[in-house]
Structure 1
C-alpha cells in the first residue's frame, strides 16, 4: 500500500457551504414531501367518492357479460327455451 500524504485542512467556508446545502436540501425535501402528500390526499379523496359508482358499473357489466355467455352456451348446446 502506498504512503499517502496527510489530508489537507478544509476551509471553514467550504465546510459551512457543504452543511448549508445539506440543510437546505433537507428542508426542500420536507416541503416537497408535504406538498406532494396534500396532492395525493386530494386524489385519494376523489377516487374514494367515485369508487362506488365504478364498482357498480363493473358489476353490472360483469352480470351482462355472464348472461350473454350463458345464452351463447345454451344456443351452442341446442337449448331453445333457455332463460337465465
Structure 2
C-alpha cells in the first residue's frame, strides 16, 4: 500500500476557532436580515410611489404614441400624394 492514506483522519480544530466561525456565521445572518429588512422598506416605498404615478405616466405615453401615429400617417399621406 502507498504511504498516503486514502482517508486521512480529520484534524482537530480548536474550540476557539469553532466558536469564532459559528459566531461570525450568526453575525452574518443577523447582518443580512437587518439589511434585507431595511432595503425591503425602501423598495416598498418606491413601488408605492410608482403606483401613484402610473396613471399619469400611462396617459403621457398614450398621448405620445397617438402623436407619433398621427405624424406617421401624415408623413405617409404626403409620400402618397407626392408620388402620384
Task: Give TM-score, length-normalised by structure 2.
Answer: 0.83
* C-alpha displacement of 1:8: 2.9
Task: Report what 2:59 is aligned to.
Answer: 56
Pair 1:72-2:75 in alignment: yes
More relative contact order, 1 or 2 (CA 8 Å, 6+ apart): 1
Greater alpha carbon shift after TM alignment, 6-15 vs 19-28: 6-15
Task: Give TM-score, length-normalised by structure 1.
Answer: 0.83
Q: Which aligned pairs between 1:1-84 and structure 2 lie closer than 5 A?
A: 2-3=4-5, 6-78=9-81
RMSD value, Cα: 1.8
Work out the CA distance in 2 between the residues paired with 1:10 and 1:71.
80
Work out the CA distance in 2 between the residues paired with 1:77 and 1:44.
47
Work out the CA distance in 1 between the residues paired with 2:23 and 2:12.
19
* C-alpha displacement of 1:11: 1.2
Paired residue total: 79
* C-alpha displacement of 1:60: 0.3
Ranges in structure 2 where 5+ consecutive residues have no aligned partner: none
